[in-house]
Chain A
Amino acid sequence: MTDKARPVFVARRTYRQRRMADAARLLPVLGAGLFLVPLLWRSDGASVGEGDAVAASGAGTVEVMLYLFLVWIFLAAAAGLISYRLPAPQDETRRDGQG
Chain B
Amino acid sequence: MATLNIMVLVALAYVTLLFAVAFAADRAAARGRARWLRSPLVYTLSLSIYCTAWTYYGAVGFAARSGLEYVTIYLGPTLVVIGWWWTLRKMVRVGRSQRITSIADLISSRFGKSNALAVFVTLVALLGTTPYIALQLQSLTLSVVAFAEADPTREVAVNRQSTAFWVAAGMALFAILFGTRNLDANERHHGIVMAIALEAVVKLVALLAVGIFVVWGLSGGVSETLARIDRSAIAEFEVPGSRWVGLTLLSAAAFLCLPRMFQVMVVENEDERHLRTAAWAFPAYMMLMSLFVVPIAVVGLDLSPEGANPDLFVLTLPLMGGQEGLAILSFLGGFSSATSMVIVAAIAVSTMVSNHVVMPVWLWLTGGSAVMSGDVRLVAMRARRISIAITLFLGYLYFRLSGGGAALASIGLISFVGVAQFLPPLIGGLFWRGANRKGALAGLSVGFALWLYCLFLPSFGPSFLMPVSVLEQGAFGLSWLRPQALFGPAVLDPVIHAFLWSISLNTLIFIVVSIFSFPQPVERLQGAQFVNVFDHSGTTGGWTGGLAQSEDLLIMTQRIMGAQEAQALFAAAAREQGIGGYLPEPTPDFLVTLERALAGSVGAATAHAMISQIVGGASVSVQDLMAVADETAQIMEYSSQLEAKTQEQERTARQLRQVNEKLTQISLQKDAFLSQISHELRTPMTSIRAFSEILRDTGELTAEEESKYASIIHDEAIRLTRLLDDLLDLSVLENAQIVLNPEHGQLGGLIDRALMGAGLSEASIRVRRRPEDEAISLYTDLDRLAQVFINVMSNARKYCDAPNPELRIRVLREADHVAVDFIDNGSGIPAGEQGTIFEKFARVSETRAGGAGLGLAICREIMARLGGSITYVPGQEGAAFRVLAPMALPGQATAAQ
Interface string of B244-280 (1 = CB under 8 A from A): 1100100000000000000000000001110111011
Q: Is the CB of B271 within 8 A of A60?
A: no
Instruction: Using CB atoms, name the residue of chain A closest to B87.
Output: A28
Please measure, in the bound complex, the distance between the C-alpha atom of A11 and the C-alpha atom of B237, giving whole angstroms.
Answer: 49
A89 to chain B: closest CB distance in Å? 4
The answer to whether A61 and B68 touch (CB under 8 A), given A31-B78, A89-B272, A89-B273, is: yes
Which of B226, B271, B287, B534 lies in contact with A76, CB distance below 8 A? B287
In B77-101, the 8 Å CB interface with A consists of: 78-86, 89, 92-93
Which of A65, A77, A82 lies in contact with B294, CB distance below 8 A? A65
Q: Is the CB of B534 within 8 A of A92?
A: yes
Contacts of A4 in B (CB 8 A): 633
Q: Is the CB of B85 within 8 A of A47?
A: no
B532 to chain A: closest CB distance in Å? 8
Please measure, in the bound complex, the distance between the C-alpha atom of A42 and the C-alpha atom of B68, giving whole angstroms.
Answer: 14
Q: Which one of B227-235, B809-817, B847-855 is at the interface? A: B227-235
A39 to chain B: closest CB distance in Å? 5
Q: B493 interface residue, CB < 8 Å from A?
A: yes
Q: Is the CB of B242 within 8 A of A48?
A: yes
Q: B238 interface residue, CB < 8 Å from A?
A: yes
Q: Is the CB of A96 within 8 A of B279?
A: no
In B57-78, the 8 Å CB interface with A consists of: 67-68, 71, 75, 78
Interface string of A77-92 (1 = CB under 8 A from B): 1111011101011101
Q: Is the CB of B294 within 8 A of A61?
A: yes
Q: B241 interface residue, CB < 8 Å from A?
A: yes
Please measure, in the bound complex, the distance between the C-alpha atom of A46 and the C-alpha atom of B81, giving whole angstroms.
Answer: 30
Number of chain B residues whose Cβ lies closer than 8 Å to a Cβ of chain A: 54
A56 to chain B: closest CB distance in Å? 9
Please measure, in the bound complex, the distance between the C-alpha atom of A63 and the C-alpha atom of B81, giving whole angstroms.
Answer: 25
Contacts of B603 in A (CB 8 A): none
A1 to chain B: closest CB distance in Å? 5
Q: B434 interface residue, CB < 8 Å from A?
A: no
Please measure, in the bound complex, the distance between the C-alpha atom of A68 and the C-alpha atom of B275, giving whole angstroms.
Answer: 24
Instruction: Using CB atoms, name the residue of chain B closest to A77.
Output: B280
The answer to whether A61 and B272 touch (CB under 8 A), given A27-B82, A47-B241, A86-B85, is: no
Q: Is the CB of B287 within 8 A of A80?
A: no
Q: B492 interface residue, CB < 8 Å from A?
A: yes
Please measure, in the bound complex, the distance between the C-alpha atom of A78 and the C-alpha atom of B29, giving whole angstroms.
Answer: 34
Which of B86, B234, B235 lies in contact with A28, CB distance below 8 A? B86
Contact size range, A: 35 or more
Which of A38, A77, A89 lies in contact with B237, CB distance below 8 A? A38
Q: B240 interface residue, CB < 8 Å from A?
A: yes
Please measure, in the bound complex, the distance between the C-alpha atom of A75 and the C-alpha atom of B71, giving whole angstroms.
Answer: 15
Interface string of A53-64 (1 = CB under 8 A from B): 111001111111
Interface string of B690-717 (1 = CB under 8 A from A): 0000000000000000000000000000
Please measure, in the bound complex, the distance between the C-alpha atom of A42 and the C-alpha atom of B86, giving whole angstroms.
Answer: 32
Q: Is the CB of A75 within 8 A of B78?
A: yes
Interface string of B273-303 (1 = CB under 8 A from A): 1011101110110010001001000000000
In B26-78, the 8 Å CB interface with A consists of: 67-68, 71, 75, 78
Contacts of A25 in B (CB 8 A): 83, 85-86
Q: Is the CB of A54 within 8 A of B276?
A: no
Please measure, in the bound complex, the distance between the C-alpha atom of A76 and the C-alpha atom of B272, giving whole angstroms.
Answer: 19
Q: A98 interface residue, CB < 8 Å from B?
A: no
Q: B5 interface residue, CB < 8 Å from A?
A: no
Which of A32, A48, A60, A90 lies in contact with B240, CB distance below 8 A? A48
Q: Is the CB of A27 within 8 A of B273?
A: no
Looking at chain B's contact residues, the main secondary structure is: helix
Quick one: which of A35, A47, A53 has the most chain B CB within 10 A? A35
Instruction: Using CB atoms, name the residue of chain A closest to B243.
Output: A51
Which of A1, A27, A49, A77 lies in contact with B535, CB distance below 8 A? A1
What's the count of A-B pairs with C-beta under 8 Å? 147
Please measure, in the bound complex, the distance between the C-alpha atom of A86 and the C-alpha atom of B31, giving whole angstroms.
Answer: 33
Q: A10 interface residue, CB < 8 Å from B?
A: no
Interface string of B476-516 (1 = CB under 8 A from A): 00000000000000011100000000000000000000000
Contacts of B71 in A (CB 8 A): 68
Q: B236 interface residue, CB < 8 Å from A?
A: yes
Which of A36, A54, A80, A88 lies in contact with B273, CB distance below 8 A? A88
Q: Is the CB of A55 within 8 A of B237?
A: yes
Contacts of A21 in B (CB 8 A): 85
Instruction: Using CB atoms, name the residue of chain B closest to A49.
Output: B491
A5 to chain B: closest CB distance in Å? 9
Q: B731 interface residue, CB < 8 Å from A?
A: no
Q: Is the CB of A80 within 8 A of B230?
A: no
Please measure, in the bound complex, the distance between the C-alpha atom of A72 and the C-alpha atom of B283, giving whole angstroms.
Answer: 7
Q: Is the CB of B68 within 8 A of A64?
A: yes
Instruction: Using CB atoms, name the residue of chain A closest to B227.
Output: A62
Q: B410 interface residue, CB < 8 Å from A?
A: no
Which of B238, B240, B245, B537 lies in contact with A36, CB distance below 8 A? B245
The answer to whether A60 and B237 touch (CB under 8 A), given A21-B85, A51-B493, A92-B534, is: yes
Quick one: which of B232, B240, B534, B633 has the most chain A CB within 10 A? B240
The answer to whether A42 and B534 touch (CB under 8 A), given A4-B633, A60-B230, A69-B287, is: no
Instruction: Using CB atoms, name the residue of chain A closest to B277.
Output: A83
Please measure, in the bound complex, the distance between the C-alpha atom of A10 and the C-alpha atom of B275, giving whole angstroms.
Answer: 26
Please measure, in the bound complex, the distance between the C-alpha atom of A4 and the C-alpha atom of B237, giving whole angstroms.
Answer: 52
What would 12 more interface pairs be, CB under 8 Å, given A1-B633, A25-B85, A76-B82? A1-B532, A24-B83, A24-B85, A49-B242, A58-B237, A59-B237, A61-B68, A68-B75, A72-B287, A79-B279, A79-B283, A80-B280
Instruction: List 26 interface pairs A-B (beta carbons < 8 Å), by A numbering.
Output: A1-B633, A25-B86, A28-B79, A28-B82, A29-B83, A35-B79, A38-B244, A39-B245, A47-B241, A49-B240, A59-B236, A60-B237, A61-B237, A61-B294, A62-B226, A64-B68, A68-B75, A72-B283, A79-B82, A79-B279, A79-B283, A80-B280, A89-B92, A89-B272, A89-B273, A90-B272
Which residues of A are interface residues toward B (Cβ below 8 A)? 1-2, 4, 21, 24-25, 27-29, 31-32, 35-36, 38-39, 41-42, 46-51, 53-55, 58-65, 68-69, 72-73, 75-80, 82-84, 86, 88-90, 92-93, 96
Which residues of B are interface residues toward A (Cβ below 8 A)? 67-68, 71, 75, 78-86, 89, 92-93, 226, 229-230, 232, 234-238, 240-242, 244-245, 248, 271-273, 275-277, 279-281, 283-284, 287, 291, 294, 491-493, 532, 534-537, 633
